[in-house]
Amino acid sequence: MNIDIFILMGGAGIFINLLLAIFNLLPIPPLDGGRVVSSLLPNRLSYQYDQLEPYGIIILVALLYLGVFQNVILPLVNLLLEFLSNISGLNLDYLIFCSLLKYC
């Protein structure tokens, strides 16, 4: 059995998990990050902030269209991948790159 498929699946799993975690922590009301921000605000501001929730999907689509995904989320995912690589002793970027492109 070829070990590359397991490296590819593991790398994809790590990447997707980090991507979803960072996306979910964006401070937009329907996401968990919005709920964290709302809980940290004073009551009056929290109520006003929560009024954005019906428009949250529109805000998310607009941010993704404007490139926030490529300019903010992906660099954070890469930073976390690098951090995990350093503490685990594995070169995750290298393993994912080799598996995806068969370059090594």
Question: What does the pLDDT look like over 75-84, one tens digit per residue?
Answer: 887 788 788 7
Please answer whether residues 34 and 28 qualify as being in contact, where contact means their C-beta atoms are separated by less than 8 angstroms.
yes
Residues comprising the chain, all counted: 104
Pick from 81, 102, 85: nearest CA to 15: 81
Least confident of 23-27, 73-77, 92-96: 92-96
pLDDT, tens only, 54-73: 998 898 889 888 887 778 88
The pTM (predicted TM-score) of the whole model is 0.69
Is the predicted pLDDT of residue 97 greater than 70, yes or no? Answer: no
- Interacting residues of 41 by C-beta distance below 8 A, sequence separation 6+: 49
